[in-house]
Amino acid sequence: MTSLEMELKKIWYMMLSNFRVRFLFAFGIVMELINVVIGAGSYFFLTKVFQGTAEVMGKYGTDVVSYIILGISLNSMLMQSLTGIFSSLVESYYDRSLERISLSPTSIYTLLLTNMMTGYIGRALNSILYLIIGLLVFGMNLGSGNVALALLVLLLGLAATVGLGMLLCLVFFYTATGKGGPSPILMFAYTFTNTFSGATFPIEVIIAFAPWLFLISAFLPQTHALSAIRMILNGSSLYDASVFADIAYLVVFSLITIPIGSYLIKRGLDKVRREGYVPPSEGIWLFG
């Protein structure tokens, strides 16, 4: 058996183990479904407070409810790309599996890839639930555009966001806060990207309030992925100026950040090996 076959086999068994832990009880699946229903419903009733369709929705050819639910489902996958490696590093560091893997013939990257893939599958199921509930319960309109092309753009968006997620790992490697636990970092990342990427409301609303915030939105790959997907589902082609610009940005962003991120993660793992396992200190610091 070749080394590649061996690593793939390890990834498969690790993923099975992760799923057994996550879905050990049927109760957990029921709670996941309830959370999705409550989440979709809360946004639906929120839109009822603000009756009418905003003018900026005309660009995407959709209504407020459909805009929000689609954004939630897509952003779930993009968040996995952004935070998956960071979460894996923190969890494996905290339970010392990172240390054990470092001392075994198994590559650390096998562990990280396994956790990423498991997370993607879980997020995909979550996204599908949102779409099904949106379609059946809230009359969501997905549009009549090219779904296959939209999925390809989503894959490109996931790749670009992985590059950004690799840079986020610097918080783990070079701060005590990052090693202490993922919750505050992940909460900030979710709130920040959810606000500035146009996931649940158009970025035009932000720009109208403070034009300079456009620079933040324009930097995030999620903004371009979500915008391009919405435009494609609305019927725009690959050669539409806006869609083409978004895709070009995602390609360039991926080509720049993924090699840089890979190098920085390699350097960071070397740093962790040299320092050894240090239990996270009590308390939370912004720096250090």
The average pLDDT across 249-277 equals 90
Which tokens belong to 18? Answer: 């992760």
pLDDT of residue 173: 87
pLDDT of residue 91: 83
Residue 40 confidence class, pLDDT cut points 50, 70, 90: low
Round to whole Å and give the CA distance between 41 and 50. 15
Which tokens belong to 161? Answer: 């966001």
Round to whole Å and give the CA distance between 117 and 156. 16
Q: Which residue has the higher pLDDT, 149 or 93?
A: 149
Question: 3-state secondary structure string, the chain?
Answer: CCHHHHHHHHHHHHHHHHHHHHCCCHHHHHHHHHHHHHHHHHHHHHHHHCCCCCHHHHHCCCCHHHHHHHHHHHHHHHHHHHHHHHHHHHHHHHCCHHHHHHCCCCCHHHHHHHHHHHHHHHHHHHHHHHHHHHHHCCCCCCCCCCHHHHHHHHHHHHHHHHHHHHHHCHHHHHCHHHHHCCHHHHHHHHHHHHHHCCCCCCHHHHHHHCHHHHHHHHHCHHHHHHHHHHHHHCCCCCCCHHHHHHHHHHHHHHHHHHHHHHHHHHHHHHHHHHHCCCCCCCCCCCCC
Mean pLDDT over the full length of the chain: 78
116-130, 172-186, 201-215: least confident range: 172-186
pLDDT of residue 8: 67
Of 136, 139, 131, the C-alpha closest to 75 is 131
Q: Which residue has the higher pLDDT, 205 or 10?
A: 205
pLDDT of residue 49: 43
pLDDT of residue 37: 59
Query: What b/e readout covers 28-45, taking b as 16+ CB neighbours within 10 angstroms?
Result: eeeebeeebeebbeebbe
Count the Cβ atoms, other than its own, within 10 Å of residue 230: 27
Residue 92 confidence class, pLDDT cut points 50, 70, 90: confident
Of 255, 88, 95, 94, the C-alpha closest to 181 is 94
pLDDT of residue 68: 83
pLDDT of residue 14: 64
Q: pLDDT per residue over 127-186, tens digit each?
A: 888 888 888 877 888 878 889 999 999 999 999 999 999 999 988 888 776 776 656 777
103-107, 150-154, 254-258, 265-269: least confident range: 103-107
pLDDT of residue 4: 66
Most confident option among 46-55, 201-210, 232-241: 232-241
Count the Cβ atoms, other than its own, within 10 Å of residue 21: 10
Residue 105 pLDDT greater than 60, yes or no: yes
The average pLDDT across 37-45 equals 52
Are the beta carbons of 220 and 81 closer than 8 angstroms?
no
pLDDT of residue 126: 84
113-122, 183-192, 257-266: least confident range: 183-192
First vs last Cα of the chain: how many Å apart?
45
pLDDT of residue 283: 39
The average pLDDT across 101-120 equals 80
